[in-house]
Copies of this chain bind each other. A is one copy, B any other.
Amino acid sequence: MTTTAFDILSEDLGRRGIDVPHVLARLKQQHIETPSWGYANSGTRFKAFAWPGAARTTREKLDDAATVHRFTGIAPSVAIHIPWDKPEDGDYAAMGQYARDKGVTIGAVNPNVFQDDAYKLGSFGNPVSGPREAALDHMLECCDIMRRTGSDALSLWFADGTNYAGQDSLRARKRRFEEGLGVVYENLPEGARMLIEYKFFEPAFYSTDIPDWGTAYAWALKLGEQAQVLVDLGHHAQGVNIEQIVAFLLDEGRLGGFHFNNRKYADDDLIVGSTNPYELFLIYNELTEAAEGDIEPARDCARRVAYMIDQCHNIEGKIGAMILSVVNCQEAYAKSLLVPRQDLAQARAAGDVLGAHELLNGAFKTDVRPLLARAREELGVPVDPYRDYVASGHDAALAAARGVAGGSGGGFQ
């Protein structure tokens, strides 16, 4: 019998007190939701480059999401965007069935209250009542769609804000928002969650109406327990410690989910983990510490977090990029499972600054690919999903079948 990289790694982890079978079990339970809009063409304000074979319809988006799941085994659900994914005939049951036939399910419902002309000065924050009511109608429609698709998460992102100081009353906008969200909350399907996303900039440039986690959290407190905060990794100012926000929200039981992506400066919506893999690891470390720990409500909260990708693939293929994103989340999660929690707790209690830091980093430095290969074998998916996908020729086949679609003009949060 030949000694393999997995054997070596497994033995080494065992020596460090890591329960490898438990780690493998967790890795097989991981679940990352991909976004329907991530399979269509997208771009910057300067240009949307068309990718040959990019999805043109919701069916094609569901097909592509199913492909990602087939290659990774841990992406079984798809977030939808209304109205981009609205069936012409309104038959959501058929849409759900189509998804299930392909091997995936419908995940979070994402309303769009930023692309109608009426929303130029905002939706719930608009100084004029018409657009506020239109936004509310749309939200209630989305609650209904949740009931029809069986979705249990309403994922809210708003483009609202102002571009010029003085343009509107910041306090009045706040109160309008609290009113609008209150009505939506009352109409959530039973057992469903409202995930409130924040963003400190763009597309409003002077102020955004939900600029930070503090605002989203304050409103979640007012609304009730079904309201939680959604963290998009690209929606913070430079230098903000995101994993600390995650830790705070976990400790209060108010972390609802993520929009995963990465950025160097603004909301670049690049592949998650591509710009700063260490940050992604540190975020997963907080989640795993809570989920594997015994402190409530953090433990329960961590186990219910909705992990969703929200990216904008401007110059690269869509499916390959999505597979890479899922893989990057998988690697970060795997590393977080290798942190020796007991040793770490001891080092921290002793005030051993560098000792604790190094224990954490030991996990990050570990090459977890042999571990993931084993988990993938057990999941029945390719050992190297991205390489296999590229080798499969699927992109070329899609390009031949679908051609080059015009830019979809899709907006991305």
Chain A residues within CB distance 8 Å of chain B: 2-5, 8, 12, 42-47, 49-50, 114-115, 117, 119-121, 127-128, 159, 162-172, 174-175, 200-203, 205-207, 211-215, 217-218, 221, 236-241, 243-244, 247-248, 250-252, 263-266, 268, 270-271, 274-279, 282, 285-286, 289-290, 295, 298, 312, 314-317, 320-321, 324, 331, 344-345, 348-349, 351, 353-361, 364-367, 369, 386, 390, 411-412
Point out the residues of chain B lying under 8 angstroms from A117, CB to CB: 49-50
Copies of this chain in the oligomer: 4
Q: How far is the CA of A273 from the CA of B3 in the complex (A)?
A: 33
> CA separation between A356 and B206, bound complex, in Å?
14
For A217, the closest partner residue in chain B by CB is B214
- For A320, list chain B residues within 8 Å (CB): 354
Instruction: Check if A212 sits within 8 Å of B214, measured CB to CB.
Output: yes
Most chain B beta-carbon neighbours within 10 Å: one of A206, A221, A237, A411: A206
Nearest first, the 5 A-B pairs at minimum CB distance are A214-B214, A166-B360, A237-B237, A238-B238, A367-B367
Residue of B170, B315, B317, B351 touching A127 (CB-CB under 8 A): B351
Contact check, B354 vs A316: say whether CB atoms are below 8 A apart. Answer: yes
Verify A354–B164 contact, CB threshold 8 A.
yes
Task: Pick the residue among B241, B358, B366 that contacts A207 (CB under 8 A).
Answer: B241
CB atoms of B358 and A365 under 8 A apart? no
Q: Is the CB of B206 within 8 A of A295?
A: no
Cα distance, A177 to B4, chains bound together (Å) = 47
Are A264 and B205 closer than 8 Å at their CB atoms?
yes
Alpha-carbon separation in the docked complex, A290 to B411 (Å): 36
In whole angstroms, what is the CA distance A411 to B207 when docked? 23
CB < 8 Å neighbour of A171 from B42, B290, B364: B290
Q: How far is the CA of A244 from the CA of B263 in the complex (A)?
A: 17
CA distance A406 to B264 in the complex (A): 32
Contact B163 A316 (CB under 8 A): yes
Contacts of A365 in B (CB 8 A): 331, 367, 369
Is there contact, CB below 8 Å, between A127 and B241?
no
Name which residue of chain B comes closest to A271, CB basis. B164
Q: How far apart are the CA atoms of A178 and B91 in the complex, in Å?
A: 50
A115 to B43, CA, bound (A): 11
